Structure formats: structure tokens, C-alpha cells
Chains A and B, each alone.
Chain A
Amino acid sequence: MEDKSKLIGFTCAYTPLALIDAAGFVPYRILPMGDWPDQAGQILHENLCPHIKRILDRAMQDDIPDLSGIVFMNSCDAMRRLSDAWQKVRPNDNTVLIDLPISKDDRSVSFFADELNRFAERLSQWGGDDIRPEGVENSIGRYNELAIHLNELKKRVNLGTLKDGSTRLQAIYNKAVTEPIENVLELIKQIAGEPDVIADNALPIYIFGNVLPDPEVFTLFESCGARIVGEDLCTGSRMINVIEIENNDKSLDGFKGLARATLSRPACARTIDPSNPGKMIHDVVEKAKASNARGVIGHIIKFCDPYLARLPSVREALKKEGLSFLLLEGDCTMRSIGQHKTRIEAFIEMLR
């Protein structure tokens, strides 16, 4: 495939970007941004998460670039309904819904590998290159390189030595999932050459949750006196991670390794480890502690069942560890977070 600008839309952090890349496409995350009139609730229901509603609003307003196809991961009820509604709103788009197992046992890995195979076939029907194991490996390598660079930037944000800190990092995350990988790598390499700034005495905060793509939100956190020293958001560091293919999987067909690696990524609340119920809760506490944060902010958008169901236990577990917790409920917009400014300031003040 010649045209490298061809885009494949996606909406979930579990999407195997390397597969899209291996087919010669550029993954384009349809982020829930833009100030469009709320219309999606009419087709779906008001009680679906704003992540989904905003994405559908963008589709209804034609605020989406030309896409060769769109992949929806079957991650939760809301995502499934988005896939249904998309077909109504944009019936001429190529779409596919890929099943995403809830856990990562061997059976799930094999099943997911078959699903990735189905996705690869679709990509080729949509005009992509034939996907070969070497191609997938190469793309995994490219994304791993990107992940390593992003991690380096993240470290500087945590130390407070990157100019414009988490705001800038979020803008780069957004770029990394909407533009060709080369553009982003080039930008990151430029930033790597920039001298460190002197860290201020902002208060170290760990943030977790689902969707928070607007860089301005991070400016707001910083203006309230917080420094993000650890973050686990599905529009942040959870989008691009280093993927390691286990040796056992290498000899098997190309997708098994990718399937296992994808299912083994840092989990969001929709993924379950049956041998350790509530692992997500434990993970929040451990990551917050490891980041040396003085407090934890949870940002959860309304109506997100996977997170809402775990919040009471997260709160309790953080309390047990003596970590102060501030819960912000939002709708993906700067407007909704802006309303919490006083609470964020008070939270930071209390922790000083």
C-alpha cells in the first residue's frame, strides 16, 4: 500500500496499533474532544458514558477525517453500543467489532489471536498491505521504540523537569495516536534535546481513571499546585506500552504473541484477573505508592460501569494506606473539570 496517510479509526486503548501499522495504515484515535451539540444521547441514551457520546457526536457532526475503516474493541457495554450506533450514523463506513476477552488465560489468548486474524483480514479488505509475521514484529518494534521515548518523557514530567510538564505530554500522547509514528518520534527527539527546567515545589499527585485527553486539564492541575508523578489513564500512558512477545509465542502464528501481549497490557477496570478478584484496586494503590505521590486523584467520567463499580473499594484501599483521595467526575470536557478547580485547590492545600 502506497498511501501512508490512510487512517484507521479506533476508540479503545486495547486496540493493537502494531497490526494497523503493519498493514500500512496510520491508527487514528477518535478522541472524545470538540464542543459539539449533545445529540448522541438521542440515539443511544443519556446514561451512556460521555466518552462514547462525544465520539458519536463527532461522527454526527462529520468531525472525523477520512478513514479507511474503524475498529471497535468489544471492551464494555457502551463500546458495543457505540459500534451499533456508528453503523446507523455513518452507514457507509467500514467497521469491525473485535471481541476482547475479559482475562488473559490461554483459551482467551487463542481466541483473541483468531480475532486479530479476522481484523488483519479486514484491514487487507480495506486496502491494507498483506500482514506478515515479520511486518507485525517490525511494527511492534516501532511502537516499542515510541513507548520507550514516551516513558523517558514521562519520567521528566514526574521529576518536574520537562517544560510544560503533563500538559505537553498529553498533547504528545494525543499526537501519538492520531498521526504517523515518524512525526511523533521526530518531535520527541527534538524535545529530548531540550534542557531540563528547574522543578517547582508542586505537590506530587497520582492520577488514575478512564478518559481525559484534553491537555488543558493538566494545565489546570498544575495551576492548582499539583505535579502529576504517576498516571494511569486510558487516554494517557495506557495507550502505548512496550510489548514483549514471549518466546513460546514466537514460534507460533504471528498473532498469538500479539494477542497475549495485548491482553497483558496494563489493565483498565474492565479487565479481570479471576485468580485475583479486585486486582485493579490493588494496582491503583501499588502504583500510587510507587510514584511517591502525596495524594491520589481519580478521574472517572459519568456512567462508566467498570470504574464506578470499583470506586468504593479503591477509596477504601487508599484510605487503609493513608493516601488521600479526591474523586472527580467529569464528562471529558474542560468545562466539567474546570468546575472542580476549587476542590482540586483545596485538596492540594490540605496535603501541603
Chain B
Amino acid sequence: MMLQYFENLESGINNAIKENPESASARKRYTIEIARLGKRLYSDTDRKAWAGALVPFDLLNTMGVTSCYAEFMASVLVSTDIGMELLENAEQTGYASDTCGYHRAIIGAAHKCLMPIPEFLISTTSPCTGGQAVLENLARLFKRDLFVIHIPQDESDQSVNFLADQIEDMVEFVANHTGSPLDKNKQCKAIENTNKAREVMSDVYNLAKQVPSPANGRDLSNFGIVMPLFFGTEAAVEIAQFYRDEFKSRINANNSGVPGESLRLMWLQNRIQFKNTLVKMLESEYKAAIVIDELNDITWDPIDPNDPYVGLARRSISSPLHGTAKRRIKHIIELAEAYRIDGAINPCHWGCRQGTGARGLIDSSMKEIGVPVLNLEVDCVDRRNFAEGQLITRIEAFMEMIESHPSPWKK
């Protein structure tokens, strides 16, 4: 069923582009790549692994392992017709509805045989304890080997080296399962691709900073968290280049992502993964553009292609999904300033302790720099309790408030 889904997704977009070449967009190219990844995951031919979100996918791609973090598949599954059934299934088997919806969807899918059985699993302690537990559960269910990576809290040399050593061990673990060691030439090429993608993504983000921004509220949704799945491949570079070209041409043509952009917003952590009208409403009613998602940023330096482990370790530790709230808030404030935002929306995804647990601290720090935050109470994955009407009312009140609130950036 899911194989069919991804095949239809790819062919549907390709046909649409064939019929109307003008409709080809960076977002479509990106979605095609996602469909291809999905196809590979559900094929019988590829070697597969489920992994934690902060695993260096560059290395897995280089070693011929089609891999993905399980939450990504959850976000795809909940956007299909059977999404809510999967959540219900997990709950019926005793998975508390208070846990993160991504994880419930994964467990439900695994019980319904909708998660491909991997050759092995690699979990990471970050971003969340729940994710760690879910991969352990899957390893037990699928009776497959599990490799665990502990991502330390800080960027001290001691922590970086600990993680770099674990990544090296991971490579050995993978090689033991695939029977082929990591080819150093391929590794170099892959890291060069990663560095290129990094550079172009950085250009994309810089273009999105422009006022008005060439980005609309959908262009880059989930981008920063999904792109790492393609790191190490040429596809990652190409996708980033499509975005860069598209944003440049919009700027050259004086087209902003949201025509008549009047307010600029930041979206914190998770997007809502099922269909809803909130972003559209923000754009049409208030000319408000989501110009930056918290996870859309380059937080790491280029990686040495010949000696990548330390660089890869630094990259994982630098993720905005990881570390102390203090560090997270510093990053959010830097983004707020760089993108000159008028307000931020924090969906406070129900079930996410690591993300929502910093809600109050983010709120008060943003207040200090004059940027209001709207804290919603949403389960970004579970639409069963999605009270769209109430959310719209809250968003309307917030937008009216920021419309009358002096922007901290216009002196």
C-alpha cells in the first residue's frame, strides 16, 4: 500500500510537470525526492535501516543503506487516510495517548505491518527520550540488531570526541551488517556533496531572509529536518539548487512568497503534519508569511571529507533539536533578529516533552526582545482533537495584537 502511495506521488508530480512545465517548482522536486526515498524504503531490494533523527545519514547513504528516521514516515502516514487508524491501533495496544503522536503512528504502523522490516536500527538519544524508546521497541518487535548513539549535551572536545568515536563504531556496525566496509573515496565524495548542499542551503536561507521574503509558508516547511536524509547525495545539492534558483528568480521579478507581505512569522519546531487551513488563513487574511522555521538553519561548519567524524559529531550536537533550552533560545533569538520577525507561533506539540518543556522559557525570552509568541495546544500529528475553529480564533487575536505591536526591528 505505501509503495503504491509513493509511486503515485512521484508519477503524479512528474505528470503534472510534463503537462505544464511552468508548474515545476522546487517544492515539487523536493517532494519527488521524498517519494523516491519512500519507494526505496518499501521496495524489496534495498538494504534498509530505521534510525534516529540525528544520525549522520550521509554515511548510511554512502554505505548503500536506505535509511530514514521513523518520525518522518509517521508524518507521511498520518497524512494518508489510514493515519488515525494507526494512532488508534497503537492506543488499543496500550500505547498512552499522552505520548508523542509521531511515535504512536510508528507503533500503530509497525503492528499493521506498514513499517518495512529493516536490517538493523540505529537510535540516537536526541532529539527525544520517546524516540529512543520507540526504536528500541521496533528492534525488539522486528528482532533486529540495535546500535545506540548517545549524543552528549555540549560541544566540549570531550563530548565531540565521544560522539565522533561512536559514529566510527556505527560505521563498523553497518559494515558488519552489509558485508562492505565504508569506501573512503565514496565517503569523500559524499561529504563533498554534503558540504555543497550546506552551502546552497545557506544561500537559500539567506534569500528567505530578504524583506519581503521570497518564501511562503509552505515552501520550506519540514525542509531543515528532512534534507539531512539526502545528505551525501547529489540529490540534496540539486534540491537546494532548485530552491536557490526559484527564490532568486522570485526576488528578481519582485515577487514575494506572500504577495503584499506585511507580517513576518517564525514557526517553532514542528509543523502540523495533516491538512489544515491555518497557514493559508495567515497568508490570505493577514498577508503574514512564515519566513523561518526554527529547524531551517545551518548550525554547523563544513565537514572535512577526509576525516569527517568530528565534523559530523559537531553537526549533530549543534542541532536546534538538541541541548539545553538556553542554547535553543539563543538560536531562536538569532533567527528572530536575522529574519526580522514580528511574532512566533509555537504549536506546543502535545506529547513532546523535549520541545514543549521549554515553552515558558522561550516565551519569556522572546518577550524580552519584543517578539510575542503564540503558544497553541496542538497535536501536530493527531487530527482527532484538532479544534481548528478555536485555533483560528486564537490566531486571529494574536495577529491583531501583533499588527498593533511595534516591530522590534523597525526603529
Contacts and interface: CB of A to CB of B under 8 A. Distances in A.
Interface of A: 42-45, 47-49, 74, 76-78, 80-81, 83-85, 87-88, 97, 99, 101-103, 107-108, 110-111, 114, 269-270, 272, 274, 277-278, 281, 302-303, 305-306, 308-313, 315
Given A47-B353, A85-B360, A277-B137, 18 more contacts: A43-B360, A48-B357, A77-B128, A77-B353, A80-B324, A81-B354, A84-B325, A88-B361, A102-B150, A110-B162, A111-B159, A272-B123, A305-B353, A309-B136, A309-B137, A311-B94, A312-B93, A312-B95
B61 interface: no
A119 B95 CA distance: 37
Interface residues of B toward A: which range? 35 or more
Contacts of B98: 47, 302-303, 308
Given A74-B153, A84-B358, A278-B137, A103 B166 contact: no
B136 A277 contact: yes
Given A77-B129, A83-B324, A84-B324, A47 B350 contact: yes
A316 to B, nearest CB: 8
B152 interface: yes
Interface in B103-133: 103, 123, 125, 128-130, 132-133
A103 B148 CA distance: 8
B158 interface: yes
A46 to B, nearest CB: 9
A309 B133 contact: yes
Interface in B346-379: 348, 350-354, 356-361, 364
A274 B147 contact: yes
A277 B140 contact: yes
Given A44-B360, A85-B361, A274 B150 contact: no
Contacts of B324: 80, 83-84, 97
B140 A278 contact: yes
A223 to B, nearest CB: 28
Contacts of B24: none
Contacts of B140: 277-278, 281, 313
Contacts of A302: 98
Interface of B: 93-96, 98-100, 103, 123, 125, 128-130, 132-134, 136-137, 139-140, 145-148, 150, 152-153, 158-159, 162, 165-166, 169, 324-326, 348, 350-354, 356-361, 364
B326 A48 contact: no
B357 A45 contact: yes
B148 A47 contact: no
Given A77-B353, A107-B166, A312-B94, A272 B130 contact: no
A240 to B, nearest CB: 24
A34 B134 CA distance: 33
Nearest to A84: B325
Contacts of A278: 136-137, 139-140
Contact of A310 (B100, B133, B147, B166): B133
B351 A311 contact: no
A81 B353 contact: yes
5 contacts: A48-B357, A102-B150, A272-B146, A274-B145, A305-B128
Contacts of B153: 74, 80, 97, 99
Contacts of A80: 153, 324, 354, 357
Contacts of A99: 150, 152-153, 159
A310 to B, nearest CB: 7
Contacts of A97: 153, 324
Contacts of A77: 128-130, 353-354, 357
B361 A308 contact: no
Given A111-B162, A313-B137, A103 B150 contact: yes
A306 B99 CA distance: 10
Which of A77, A88, A110: most chain B CB closer than 10 A? A77
Nearest to B97: A308
A264 B136 CA distance: 19
Contacts of B150: 99, 101-103, 108, 111
